[in-house]
């Protein structure tokens, strides 16, 4: 199985690149952000609870997203592998993901970290806010999402670097150029697995 974590600050292009990865490698794409927005749209209890955090730019509690992620993995027993987009976002989530995969005799194959400066991130998210009207793409919420990213999520880079799984890739440039760099790194891991 090929299990890819796509990592990066809000607006770094995780969702965009995940779609390309899914198409090229035939993986199941799990975006915890998309799952939470679907719950919000369906006005479920979980969705109503999550919305309070998302509009403030805060993370939804670990136990909620970890449970949601494990359920999605269980629903896809035939998967050739997964793309984890926007998960993990805390050290506790990173440790939980390792444990969940271990239950299935699996592990993370590679962690791609998309590197983009804050100015560009803010620009991209404000533009998406104008186009799509997402409730968290406004300046105030974007600023708290970035703070949360640096305080709670970025430390995971060290966690994966220690496991020898982290690959940092520039997330600036055209979507195709960035994807070519990602595919090069993933292909290397695929080739190593075959050896």
Nearer to ligand B4P, 33 or 109 (CB): 33
Structure tokens given for 2: 């090929």
Confirm or reject binding of residue 97 to ligand B4P (CB under 6 A). no
Residue 194 CB, nearest distance to ligand B4P (Å)?
30
Distance between CA atoms of residues 99 and 84, nearest Å:
15
Dihedral of the CA atoms 77, 114, 68, 40 (nearest 10)? Answer: -130
Which residue of 7, 113, 124, 179 would you call a contact of ligand B4P, by CB under 6 A? Answer: 124
Confirm or reject binding of residue 7 to ligand B4P (CB under 6 A). no
Query: Hunting for tokens 């983009």 — which residue is that?
Result: 116
Residue 129 CB, nearest distance to ligand B4P (Å)?
9
Nearest to 69 by CA among 45, 114, 99: 99
Is 172 among the residues known to form the active site?
Answer: no
Confirm or reject binding of residue 59 to ligand B4P (CB under 6 A). yes
Cα atoms in the 13 Å half-sphere on the side-chain side of 100: 22
Q: Interface with ligand B4P by CB under 6 A: which range of 75-83, 87-95, 104-112, 158-166?
A: 87-95
Residue 1 parent element (H or E): none
Contact 190, 110 (CB under 8 A): no
From residue 146 to residue 185, what is the string marking binding to ligand B4P with x (rule CB under 6 A)?
A: -----------------------------x--x-------
Cα angle 84-93-122, degrees, rounded to a multiple of 5: 65
Confirm or reject binding of residue 12 to ligand B4P (CB under 6 A). yes
Give the dihedral sign, CA 193/65/183/120: negative
Confirm or reject binding of residue 53 to ligand B4P (CB under 6 A). yes
Confirm or reject binding of residue 86 to ligand B4P (CB under 6 A). yes
Confirm or reject binding of residue 94 to ligand B4P (CB under 6 A). no
Confirm or reject binding of residue 60 to ligand B4P (CB under 6 A). yes
Active-site residue set: 14, 89, 128, 134, 145
């Amino acid at each position: 199985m090929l299990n890819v974590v796509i990592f990066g600050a809000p607006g770094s292009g995780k969702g965009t690149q995940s779609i390309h990865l899914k198409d090229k490698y035939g993986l199941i794409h799990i975006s915890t952000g998309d799952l939470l927005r679907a719950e919000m749209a369906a006005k479920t209890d979980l969705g109503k609870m999550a919305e309070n955090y998302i509009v403030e730019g805060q993370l939804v509690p670990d136990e909620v997203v970890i449970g949601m992620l494990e359920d999605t993995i269980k629903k896809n027993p035939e998967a050739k592998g997964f793309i984890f987009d926007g998960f993990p976002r805390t050290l506790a989530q990173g440790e939980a993901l390792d444990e969940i995969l271990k239950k299935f005799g699996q592990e993370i194959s590679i962690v791609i970290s998309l590197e983009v400066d804050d100015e560009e991130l803010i620009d991209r998210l404000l533009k998406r806010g104008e186009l799509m009207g997402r409730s968290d793409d406004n300046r105030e919420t974007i600023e708290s999402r970035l703070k949360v990213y640096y305080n709670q999520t970025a430390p995971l880079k060290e966690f994966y670097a220690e496991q020898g799984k982290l690959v940092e890739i520039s997330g600036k440039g055209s979507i195709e150029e960035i994807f070519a760099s990602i595919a090069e790194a993933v292909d290397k891991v695929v080739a190593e697995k075959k050896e």
